[in-house]
Amino acid sequence: MTDTTLTPASPAPARRGGGREGRRALRAAPMASFPTLVREIPVYNLVPDEAVELIHEESMRILEEVGCEFRDDEALAMWQAAGADVSGTRVRIDRALLMELVSKVPPEFTLNARNPARTVKVGGRNTVFVPMYGAPYVRDLENHRRYGSLEDLNNFHKLAYMLPALHSSSSICCEPMEIPVPKRHLHIIHSALKHSDKPFMGIVTSKERAEDVMKMAGIVFGEDYVKDNTVLVSITNCNSPLVWDSTMLDAMKVYARHNQPLILAPFALCGASTAASAVGAVAQVNAEALAGVAFTQLVRPGSPQIYGQFMVTVDMKSGAPMGGTPEAAQMMFLMGQLARKYRLPWRTSGFHVGSKLNDAQAGYEANMLMHAAILSGANYVWHVAGWLEAGLCCGYSKFVTDAEQLVGWYKYAGGLSFADFKEAMAAVREVGPAGHFLGTQHTLEHFEKAFFIPSIMDFNSFEQWSAEGAKDHDTRGREKARAMLNAYEEPKLEDGIAEGLRDFIARREEQLPNSVN
Amino acid sequence: MTDTTLTPASPAPARRGGGREGRRALRAAPMASFPTLVREIPVYNLVPDEAVELIHEESMRILEEVGCEFRDDEALAMWQAAGADVSGTRVRIDRALLMELVSKVPPEFTLNARNPARTVKVGGRNTVFVPMYGAPYVRDLENHRRYGSLEDLNNFHKLAYMLPALHSSSSICCEPMEIPVPKRHLHIIHSALKHSDKPFMGIVTSKERAEDVMKMAGIVFGEDYVKDNTVLVSITNCNSPLVWDSTMLDAMKVYARHNQPLILAPFALCGASTAASAVGAVAQVNAEALAGVAFTQLVRPGSPQIYGQFMVTVDMKSGAPMGGTPEAAQMMFLMGQLARKYRLPWRTSGFHVGSKLNDAQAGYEANMLMHAAILSGANYVWHVAGWLEAGLCCGYSKFVTDAEQLVGWYKYAGGLSFADFKEAMAAVREVGPAGHFLGTQHTLEHFEKAFFIPSIMDFNSFEQWSAEGAKDHDTRGREKARAMLNAYEEPKLEDGIAEGLRDFIARREEQLPNSVN
């Protein structure tokens, strides 16, 4: 019940905590970003607390009796030193030890952007929206599907910068496929830092690359600053069932030591990498995520971390992952209830779909998940722009479509305004039966801000829409993306910093091979 | 937390109340309809009880101080006799009188179908899904937009019969535009009764037509039977702000006297026919709906009725109604909270959208609303198949798309199954780290039923999808609609009944003019 408005303004007082005050400040002057979303609506608890405890109990038993694999000698030594039962690569973790480690994670943290006005908070009632990550393909401005390029990646970072409800630029929205794999991370991070001033994401494919990311962050934020201050978020996926592999553990060690949060999120294909049971899948994923969270606290106690999940069901006919299914939504609610039990910031995914196109399927799938993400109280809502084909493809039209929808979700989660309720009721008295409200003082004062009005969606009459070319939503989305890119202005880095990044990349490119072997 | 499966079976034990027992019985033999959905998940309360009371208080004050117009002499006399303050057509209703009348409405009722296996319950934890109503246009199997015809209407009734998650055939899915208006109702009701054996909806455009509908229902169910037993639902819209007009009141009198429920639902264009405030709109619509509900209890105390709302926001740029907006969802939650306060069965709308096409916009809009409809605990979820263009158009592809999505929503609202949780956890122990679950006994037993697998949505690989023609969702929907219509088999009425209907229609056609003047 707050007075939420959606007029973006500058400077966004993110460091002052967003929320009611932040939104008030927003009205001052126009700018292209919303502060952290502070949820003013209650969370939805799908199951009673006893059910949450039942799942927790089974997760604890998995880690105590079955254990989890940690495929890294240093990690195993750390677990042994902490008192876990280590046998080969198998680590059995007693619930007391596990929960003690988990309790060290701060329930909320600040994620600093290179532009302080874009700094956001993660955890508690705070929610941030983050574009997709990891697509080898793009669906381009001509609606062709092809490999992603560095130009595409630049474009997605430009759009992420311009779209006000996106709180991060992500990093690998699409893969720049023309760049050799060993050098790719340099250009990905450079693109994110150069084209946008919002928070970004790290690279986790090797220890060396993670260290390069930290060095580049150091050039932008200051080498000392990034030893303690959180400036990026990275994803580590447990290899379900119950394996944390050496690549992920290497990345965890690099980033956690720098106080940079990992998302500890099993990527679960429910029915294949978990049992064919929504509740069973949650219990397993919870065990996997908690084991990862606990490990980060061996690396650096008190470092910020993000508990999480990515769970999709599997199509029995094709074995393919499915996006917006009812079970995916239900599992999300359970993970939210568990995250609150553990007082952990947590991540889920919003608009991720199986559809190949930005069509009706995409829309149905996307909003099934986003509604659940908002009501389950997720803090880091990822993959909320661009995602198609179960993550294999990033679409330009989908990117701007999703981001526009986020404005509506931002408003939704901001809650209902009772601020002008008495005035509104006075208007009812003024108008009386059989009148209309278009000319009342209340309407004139409130109309523009009262309701969400999207721009890519079309609500014109059929005749008007036909006169404008009878374009479907996908077409309008591509037009909007193109128009935005034409209007883009770079939020330039200081000359010295820009040069520092270029020098670093040039030096590393000389050192690194072009082939992975 | 129940064991929900989605295999439709026959006979559906709807009269025995659906729910857990109903779903168990469903597994016996295949049939094309689900029983009443019994919600096993909690409702979502968007605002605290105090906020609901605040809205209630303002609604009461509107009816006490401003009053509501009832433009019918008989209705005014009834209000006067009941003790309301009547002045001209303005009726001011004291809250004690209002709430006394509202309290006479049963919180739950049975809606009988001509096939008892299709009988459903409305109210309490029961939810039914009902296709759209009122479109002059159709978007046809070739994706052309044109006037609706009787053949189209027959087709939508056939589809409603065949699609398992639809609990009703509605009535005027589209208008049969080639039939003269004075005779149209006869053919609409005939089509619904002939092509489907599910519950249906009445006609409200005049007293005479409403009486014709009751006579036709009498031919099918027995003249005496329909004097007391509920067999159809009709819609009456308050003319916002605060007018119940003579046409609506005539229909209310005819149907309520027969114990047939009305939906008392203001059709509110928020910002135009209400104040530009979501909360203000709800307070007004609540007053309007309650005044209608109360009036039906003057006509026949204890008759079943459905409290309701249809609230869309208005696009400031074009004045056009918008479908799936965050405010529409928020207002739905408030109406649900009010309905529970009054212990009234209540109606909302599910998949209603502003989009002209069954495209991404349609999908985003549709699921924004349906998620809210399910979580707000609505009992009669209307317009859940076919709706496009703010109701001006019924689409074949949209119809089957929506109905397939309903299967997922049916499953969602059925809650999570903990029945096989222990088995699932045993499977985790059996598989251990780094294994997979595809071969486990638990997976083999549960896979097919564990997760919702839609058929129009495509989750195949890009390559497979391309090989199959790279069709978008809309195209696949039209193909599915066509295939279903080709496979349709009529659930024939008994010869005598079919003949009785034909005779009645022939007689009335002779009596009625071809022109409305």
The interface residues of chain A toward chain B in range 54-93, judged by CB-CB distance below 8 A, are 54, 58, 61-62, 65-69, 90
Quote the pLDDT of residue B14.
35
Signed CA dihedral, A431, A436, A439, A440: sign only? positive
Neighbours of A179 (CB within 10 A): 18
Which one, of A334, A253, A257, A340, lies nearest residue A292 by Cα? A253
Residues of A in contact with B448 (CB under 8 A): 316
For A448, the closest of B316, B437, B442 (CB atoms) is B316
Residues of B in contact with A248 (CB under 8 A): none
Distance between alpha carbon A258 and the CA centroid of its chain, in Å? Answer: 21
For A462, the closest of B334, B389, B451 (CB atoms) is B389
Check A316 against B274: CB less than 8 A apart: no
Which one, of B173, B204, B168, lies nearest residue B188 by Cα? B173
Q: Which residues contact A473 (CB under 8 A, 6 or more apart)?
A: A358, A363, A397, A401, A456, A457, A458, B355, B357, B359, B360, B361, B362
Neighbours of A460 (CB within 10 A): 17
C-alpha B280/C-alpha B54 separation (Å) is 11
User: For the segment B317-364, what is each residue's pLDDT rounded down to a tens digit?
Assistant: 778 888 889 999 999 999 999 999 999 999 999 999 999 999 999 999
The interface residues of chain A toward chain B in range 287-346, judged by CB-CB distance below 8 A, are 313-318, 320-327, 329-330, 334
For B320, the closest of A323, A425, A461 (CB atoms) is A461
Residues of A in contact with B270 (CB under 8 A): 450-451
Check B433 against A320: CB less than 8 A apart: no
**Mind telling me how many Å the CA of B287 is from chain A's nearest CA?**
11
Signed CA dihedral, A199, A200, A204, A208: sign only? negative
Check B360 against A321: CB less than 8 A apart: no
Neighbours of B423 (CB within 10 A): 16
Check A453 against B68: CB less than 8 A apart: no
For A434, the closest of B69, B137, B442 (CB atoms) is B69
Check A357 against B44: CB less than 8 A apart: no
Q: Does A225 touch chain B (CB under 8 A)?
A: no
Check A65 against B359: CB less than 8 A apart: no
Long-range pairs for B218-226: beta carbons < 8 A, 24 or more residues apart: B219/B497, B219/B500, B219/B501, B219/B504, B220/B114, B220/B193, B220/B493, B220/B497, B220/B501, B221/B112, B221/B114, B226/B258, B226/B260
Check A462 against B354: CB less than 8 A apart: no
Does residue B26 carry a pLDDT above 60? no
The angle formed by the CA atoms of residues B38, B41 and B45, to the nearest 5 degrees, is: 115
Which one, of B444, B454, B450, B452, lies nearest residue B3 by Cα? B450
What interhelical angle do A95-102 and A278-299 show, nearest 10?
A: 70
Total beta-carbon pairs less than 8 A apart between chain A and chain B = 415
C-alpha A242/C-alpha B26 separation (Å) is 37
C-alpha A243/C-alpha A164 separation (Å) is 38
Write the single-letter amino acid at B501: L
Per-residue pLDDT of chain A (517 residues; tens, 9 = 90+): 443 334 443 333 333 333 444 444 433 333 479 999 999 999 999 999 999 999 999 999 999 999 999 999 999 999 999 999 999 999 999 999 999 999 999 999 999 999 999 999 999 999 999 999 999 999 999 999 999 999 999 999 999 999 999 999 999 999 999 999 999 999 999 999 999 999 999 999 999 999 999 999 999 999 999 999 999 999 999 999 999 999 999 999 999 999 999 999 998 999 899 999 999 999 999 999 999 999 999 999 999 999 999 998 888 777 888 888 999 999 999 999 999 999 999 999 999 999 999 999 999 999 999 999 999 999 999 999 999 999 999 999 999 999 999 999 999 999 998 999 999 999 999 999 999 898 888 888 887 777 888 899 999 999 999 999 999 999 999 999 999 999 999 999 999 999 999 999 999 999 999 998 6
C-alpha B420/C-alpha A280 separation (Å) is 8
Distance between alpha carbon A197 and the CA centroid of its chain, in Å? Answer: 16
Q: Is the previous residue joined to B11 through a cis bond, with omega within 30 degrees of 0? A: yes
Residues of B in contact with A314 (CB under 8 A): 451
The interface residues of chain B toward chain A in range 461-490, judged by CB-CB distance below 8 A, are 461-462, 464-465, 470, 472-474, 477
User: For the segment B387-431, what is each residue's pLDDT rounded down to a tens digit?
Assistant: 999 999 999 999 999 999 999 999 999 999 899 999 999 999 999
- For B496, the enclosing helix (H) or strand (E) is helix B495-511
* pLDDT tier, B261 (very low <50, low <70, confident <90, very high otherwise): very high
Strand pairing partners for B270?
Answer: B313
For A458, the closest of B276, B334, B361 (CB atoms) is B361
The interface residues of chain A toward chain B in range 340-379, judged by CB-CB distance below 8 A, are 354-368, 371-372, 375
Quote the pLDDT of residue A20.
43
What order of strands is seen across the sheet that includes strand B321-322? B267-270, B310-314, B321-322
What interhelical angle do B181-195 and B495-511 show, nearest 10?
A: 170
Which one, of B165, B140, B168, B177, lies nearest residue B155 by Cα? B140
C-alpha A454/C-alpha A470 separation (Å) is 18
Higher pLDDT, B453 or B44: B44
- The model carries a pTM of 0.94
Beta strands A310-314 and A321-322: pairing type? antiparallel
- Which of B6, B269, B416, B438 best tests the A interface by mutation, with the highest count of A CBs <10 A? B416
Q: What percent of chain B has pLDDT over 70?
A: 94
Does residue B28 carry a pLDDT above 80? no
Check B359 against A361: CB less than 8 A apart: no
C-alpha B258/C-alpha A104 separation (Å) is 67
Residues of A in contact with B421 (CB under 8 A): 54, 58, 277, 279-280, 283
User: For the segment B230-251, what is each residue's pLDDT rounded down to a tens digit?
Assistant: 999 999 999 999 999 999 999 9
C-alpha A190/C-alpha A498 separation (Å) is 9
> Cβ distance B135 to B399 under 8 Å?
no
Q: Tokens 């007293």: give the residue.
A: B207
Q: Tokens 């990822």: give the residue.
A: A382
Residues of A in contact with B417 (CB under 8 A): 277-279
- Which of A437, A443, A445 best tests the B interface by mutation, with the highest count of B CBs <10 A? A437
Check A272 against B436: CB less than 8 A apart: yes
Q: Does A278 touch chain B (CB under 8 A)?
A: yes
A390-413 burial, b for 16+ CB within 10 Å, e for fewer?
Answer: bbbbbbbbbbbbbbbbbbbbbbbb
**Mind telling me how many Å the CA of A107 is from chain B's nearest CA?**
24
C-alpha B133/C-alpha B201 separation (Å) is 9
**Mind telling me how many Å the CA of B490 is from chain A's nearest CA?**
30
Rg (CA), chain A: 23
Q: Does B457 touch chain A (CB under 8 A)?
A: yes
C-alpha A197/C-alpha A115 separation (Å) is 5
C-alpha B264/C-alpha B273 separation (Å) is 16
The interface residues of chain B toward chain A in range 156-215, judged by CB-CB distance below 8 A, are none
Residues of A in contact with B366 (CB under 8 A): 363-364, 367
Beta strands A380-382 and A120-123: pairing type? unpaired
Task: Tell me the CA distances in angstroms from B441 to A29, B426, B428, one per residue in order.
Answer: 62, 10, 11
Check A448 against B325: CB less than 8 A apart: no
Check A470 against B277: CB less than 8 A apart: no
A487-499 burial, b for 16+ CB within 10 Å, e for fewer?
Answer: eeeebebeeebbe
Does residue B20 carry a pLDDT above 70? no
A196 phi, psi to nearest 5 deg: -145, 155
Check A272 against B437: CB less than 8 A apart: yes
C-alpha A214/C-alpha A257 separation (Å) is 11
Which one, of A96, A126, A97, lies nearest residue A110 by Cα? A126
What are the residue ranges of helices labelled H in B439-472?
Answer: 441-450, 462-467
Does residue B8 carry a pLDDT above 70? no
Does residue B443 carry a pLDDT above 50? yes
- For A236, the enclosing helix (H) or strand (E) is strand A232-236
C-alpha B390/C-alpha A515 separation (Å) is 56
Task: Tell me the CA distances in angstroms from B424 to A48, A101, B242, B421, one per residue in order.
Answer: 20, 27, 56, 5
Check B276 against A424: CB less than 8 A apart: yes
Quote the pLDDT of residue B43.
98
Residue-by-residue DSSP string for B128-192: EE-----BSEEE-TTS-EEE--HHHHHHHHHHHHH-TT-----S-SB--TTS-HHHHHHHHHHHH
* pLDDT tier, B88 (very low <50, low <70, confident <90, very high otherwise): very high
C-alpha B332/C-alpha B347 separation (Å) is 10
Write the single-letter amino acid at A422: K
Q: Using the 8-state DSSP alphabet, how is residue B323 labeled?
A: S
Check B459 against A375: CB less than 8 A apart: no
Q: Does A382 touch chain B (CB under 8 A)?
A: no
Q: Which residues contact B128 (CB under 8 A, 6 or more apart)?
A: B36, B37, B111, B120, B121, B122, B167, B168, B199, B379, B380, B381
Write the single-letter amino acid at B470: A
Q: Does B243 touch chain A (CB under 8 A)?
A: yes
The interface residues of chain A toward chain B in range 16-45, judged by CB-CB distance below 8 A, are 41-42, 44-45
What are the residue ranges of helices labelled H in A319-470?
Answer: 326-342, 360-375, 396-413, 421-431, 441-450, 462-467
Quote the pLDDT of residue B314.
86
Per-residue tokens: B123 = 């109210």
**Mind telling me how many Å the CA of B505 is from chain A's nearest CA?**
35
State the first-to-last Cα distance of chain A, in angstroms, to the nearest integer.
Answer: 58
Quote the pLDDT of residue B405.
97
Check A69 against B317: CB less than 8 A apart: no
- For A269, the enclosing helix (H) or strand (E) is strand A267-270
> Any idea which of A251-260, B260-269, B434-443, B457-466 has the lowest mean pLDDT?
B434-443
- Which of A243, A451, A456 best tests the B interface by mutation, with the highest count of B CBs <10 A? A451
Q: Tokens 């329909």: give the residue.
A: B226
